[in-house]
Amino acid sequence: MQAEELAYYPFISEASTYVEHLGISLGSLLNSRAYRAVRTRGIERLKEALEGEIKKPPISGEAQVLSELLSYPFARILVACVDDQLFTRRYALAEAKAAYTLLKNENPAFLLKFGEEFGIPAAFRDSYFNMHFTDYIRFSSSMKDPAWKLTNRQFRAGEVKITREEFARLLEEAIRERIEQSFPIPEIPSEVSDLCAPYIAEIKDQFEVQKKKFGATDFGAIEPKFFPPCISHALANVQGGVNLAHSMRFAMTSFLLSVGMLVDEILNLFNISPDFDAEKTLYQIEHIAGATGNVYKPPACDTMRTYGNCIGKDRLCERINHPLAYYERKMYLKNREDEKRKEEQTKRKKERKKEERGEK
């Protein structure tokens, strides 16, 4: 691919190789005045991702190509430093959506090559793409529209026939998955996080604003094992295909939104219910998430009891009066444990270094 094309799709392996060959050190990327525009674009990428859409302007000229290509690894370093599952998911989704906007207008030969990059072989015949049904299922399983169900597709000799736009949409899923799964980046050196600190602070501030807008509390990564018994019970029912009463549906949805789950993810949970109606469910979830201006909070334990939704009460339930307080308490205890463990690890590392230097 030409450098301009790589700049539109900086997450593909050819783009990484291109960047590697430029021989720019990480220190220069993070610190040098020469790459200030790159860092500005990287932050812009993340801010746009938080707002839902990374804009891809037409790219021309060496400077812009470089800025687009290098701003991607820079943005990734910041995502790794922010180290928040919800933020990572938002970023991966926004990068993938931006790519889809471009991909749906690419020619079939380009899309076939792009598919290979993601391990999705396909053929283009009679104006349609044909792909193996296992690849189709893998990347379409999260799609909410019933049109994506295998039973609603033209299916022959193990292959599914899809349009160019649909193939591009499946590629979007593959991109989202690749970016999301490339995090967390295991060891970020402390010098790197120190250099990134001012940018991280700026991004975190905007992330907080966005979370408040959508009613999500800062619980960090979602930990279903810490959900209160009433919500775990409702989730198990949904997963088992049991219909929930309207009041429990509302309580569960507003709870999941409050702990940071995305609308699409909740929609997929309901996708198994016998009365699943994608459009209606999406409308309900978005309504609770505040699409009409009101962000709905989950009901307190008293209200849950009134509607018969307080199921499986345990000892912690005796000490709280809201399902979110239950989760908050469990997360607090877990974070305290994690902190202790981290402190001990750092202490041990320091002692080991001292020993190595012969100071002990």
Query: Where do contacts with ligand SF4 occur on this chain (CB under 6 A)?
Result: 228-230, 301, 304, 310, 312-313, 317, 323, 326
Contact between 11 and 72 under an 8 Å Cβ cutoff? The reply is yes
- CB-nearer residue toward ligand SF4: 130 or 309: 309
- CB-nearer residue toward ligand SF4: 228 or 260: 228
- CB-nearer residue toward ligand SF4: 119 or 312: 312
In angstroms, give the least distance from the CB of 326 to ligand SF4: 4
In angstroms, give the least distance from the CB of 323 to ligand SF4: 4
- CB-nearer residue toward ligand SF4: 108 or 229: 229
Write the CB contacts of 156 (distance below 8 Å, at least 6 apart in sequence).
none
The identity of residue 316, as a single letter, is L
C-alpha to C-alpha distance for 332 and 7, rounded to whole angstroms: 42
Write the CB contacts of 35 (distance below 8 Å, at least 6 apart in sequence).
24, 28, 29, 70
In angstroms, give the least distance from the CB of 33 to ligand SF4: 54
- Angle subtended at Cα 88 by Cα 122 and Cα 262, rounded to the nearest 5 degrees: 85
Partners of residue 156 on adjacent β-strands: 159
In angstroms, give the least distance from the CB of 174 to ligand SF4: 38
In angstroms, give the least distance from the CB of 318 to ligand SF4: 8
Nearest one of 308, 339, 174, 177 to 245, comparing CA atoms = 308
In angstroms, give the least distance from the CB of 177 to ligand SF4: 34
In angstroms, give the least distance from the CB of 232 to ligand SF4: 9
- CB-nearer residue toward ligand SF4: 98 or 248: 248
- CB-nearer residue toward ligand SF4: 103 or 230: 230
Q: Which residues of 67-80 are buried (b: 16+ CB within 10 A; e: fewer)?
A: bbbbbbbbbbbbbb
- CB-nearer residue toward ligand SF4: 146 or 308: 308
C-alpha to C-alpha distance for 273 and 250, rounded to whole angstroms: 15
Which long-range contacts (C-beta less than 8 Å, at least 24 apart) are formed by 314-322?
314/229, 316/228, 317/228, 317/229, 322/298
